[in-house]
């Protein structure tokens, strides 16, 4: 290799490393990386092929090339070659590529349960010489590392996005305050409550609370959040009356202390849990049966009691004798490990979580992920 070729190779390698670094940090696409590899080694086409346990779902997820028409290589050739490599990789035997498809290299980049990602390189003119093969091995190794880093970063972002959507499905309002009382995160239920502005709302990044006593409780909690140590920090439960006279909210102020040496991270924050009795959802019959072993009749009685009915009113609504209702109540006490009706209601309202799946749609995901 003469000096000109060496300089050209170094320049191309520099472009390749910049490309995979940008890819690892979600600033370049997989197609860009394929194009960089193709230009560096003079390939007509570089593709990443996804092979699954269901052949109908196999597809080419990224491609790039320097030929006039990279599409000259039939997608079926790429898929067939990738399948052969995956079969060999899985210990199912190695087979030569179909003659004439000009695929010079096909190598598994990433293995996942039921899914493999294969790098396929097409060059019509000739095979790779020894120097080019060494260059390819180095590039593929670096490419794998960038994919691993990208996956790690994506996983961290995914956890944040998933947590946000999980919070939106919680039956309570959640809102985060910093140590100066500025409002940050809020879930869907908290946003609904703030929008109603019925004794509790927000003005930009500040909470608006109509009850001066609750304001004082909040300020005291924030003050302790700034000055107290972890051993003396404590939360508060307060009742907030609605301006409309409807049943009020129950607010729980929960201090959060993050023990970290990072000077960029706010170490003290507060979570506010808002319970709205008008929208509180109680456990259904299936939940009470599965979790506590209640019979359907016992579960229906507990539902009535948790909705504020007295025992006689609940018996009348369910069409059972008061003696039957008392027997069911005593049996429910034993199964829920409580000794009073107040304890029963607290148990039912404190540990309920709807078991419906939480689905994050593709559009929500793309919007949250910044289009990546």
Confidence of residue 70 (pLDDT cuts 50, 70, 90): very low
CA distance 274 to 249: 7
Q: 358-365, long-range: CB within 8 Å, 24+ apart, which pairs?
A: 358/165, 358/166, 358/169, 360/161, 360/162, 360/165, 364/165, 365/161
**CA angle, 273 then 278 then 281, to 5°:** 75
- CB-based contact 34:54 (threshold 8 Å): no
Flag whether pLDDT at 93 surpasses 50.
no
- Range with the poorest average pLDDT among 105-114, 248-257, 362-371: 362-371
Strands 45-52 and 115-122: antiparallel
* Residue pair 288/302 in contact by the 8 Å Cβ criterion: yes
pLDDT tens digits along 153-200: 777 777 777 777 778 888 889 999 988 889 988 999 999 999 999 999
Between 4 and 23, residue with greater pLDDT: 23
Taking only the tens place, the pLDDT of each residue in 302-352 is 988 877 688 999 999 999 999 999 999 999 999 999 888 878 877 876 655
pTM for the model stands at: 0.53
Residues of the chain with CATH 3.30.450.20: 171-280
Contact 270, 177 (CB under 8 A): yes
Strand pairing category for 249-257 and 268-275: antiparallel
The pLDDT value recorded for residue 95 is 43
**Per-residue confidence (pLDDT) for residue 25, from 0 to 100:** 81
As assigned by CATH, the class of the 3-164 domain is alpha beta
Q: Which of 41-45, 97-101, 133-137 has the lowest mean pLDDT?
A: 97-101
Confidence of residue 21 (pLDDT cuts 50, 70, 90): confident
CATH superfamily of 171-280: PAS domain (3.30.450.20)
The answer regarding whether domain 285-350 maps to CATH 3.20.20.120 reads no
d(CA 118, CA 96) in angstroms, rounded, equals 16
Residue 115 vs residues 62, 146, 280: alpha-carbon distances, Å: 16, 19, 43
pLDDT in tens, 244-301: 988 888 898 988 876 655 444 446 788 898 988 788 767 788 888 888 999 999 999 9
Q: What are phi and psi of 10, to 5 degrees?
A: -60, -40
pLDDT average, residue stretch 52-77: 76
Judge contact between 171 and 281, C-beta under 8 A.
yes
Q: Would you state the pLDDT for residue 174?
A: 92
Of residues 168, 239, 241, the one with CA closest to residue 198? 241
**What is residue 260's predicted lDDT score, i.e. its pLDDT?**
54
Looking at the DSSP bridge assignments, the partners of residue 117 are 50, 110
Residue intervals of the chain classified under CATH 1.10.10.10 are: 285-350
């Amino acid at each position: 290799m003469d000096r000109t070729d060496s300089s050209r190779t170094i320049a191309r390698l520099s472009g390749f490393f910049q490309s995979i670094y940008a890819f690892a940090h979600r600033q370049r696409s997989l197609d860009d990386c394929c194009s960089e590899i193709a230009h560096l080694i003079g390939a007509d086409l570089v593709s990443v092929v996804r092979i699954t346990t269901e052949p109908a779902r196999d597809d080419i997820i990224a491609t790039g090339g320097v030929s006039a028409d990279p599409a000259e290589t039939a997608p079926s050739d790429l898929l067939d070659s990738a399948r052969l490599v995956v079969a060999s990789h899985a210990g199912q035997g190695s087979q030569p590529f179909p003659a004439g498809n000009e695929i010079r290299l096909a190598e598994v980049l990433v293995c996942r349960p039921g899914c493999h990602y294969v790098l396929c390189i097409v060059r019509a003119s000739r095979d790779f010489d020894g120097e080019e093969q060494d260059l390819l091995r180095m590039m593929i190794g670096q490419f794998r590392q960038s994919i691993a880093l990208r996956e790690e970063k994506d996983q961290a972002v995914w956890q944040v996005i998933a947590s946000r959507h999980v919070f939106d499905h919680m039956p309570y309002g959640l809102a985060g305050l910093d140590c100066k009382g500025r409002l940050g995160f809020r879930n869907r239920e908290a946003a609904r409550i703030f929008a109603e502005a019925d004794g509790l709302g927000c003005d930009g990044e500040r909470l608006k609370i109509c009850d001066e006593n609750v304001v004082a409780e909040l300020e005291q909690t924030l003050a302790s959040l700034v000055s107290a140590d972890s051993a003396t920090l404590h939360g508060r439960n307060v009742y907030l009356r609605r301006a409309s006279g409807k049943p009020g909210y129950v607010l729980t102020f929960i201090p959060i202390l993050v023990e970290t040496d990072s000077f960029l991270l706010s170490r003290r924050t507060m979570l506010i849990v808002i319970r709205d009795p008008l929208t509180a959802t109680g456990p259904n019959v299936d939940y009470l049966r599965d979790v506590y072993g209640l019979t359907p009749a016992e579960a229906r009685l507990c539902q009535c009691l948790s909705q504020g009915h007295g025992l006689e009113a609940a018996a009348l609504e369910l069409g059972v004798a008061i003696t039957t209702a008392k027997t069911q109540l005593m049996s429910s006490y034993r199964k829920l490990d409580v000794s009073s009706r107040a304890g029963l209601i607290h148990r039912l309202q404190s540990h309920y979580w709807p078991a419906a799946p939480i689905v994050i749609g593709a559009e929500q995901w793309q919007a949250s992920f910044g289009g990546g």
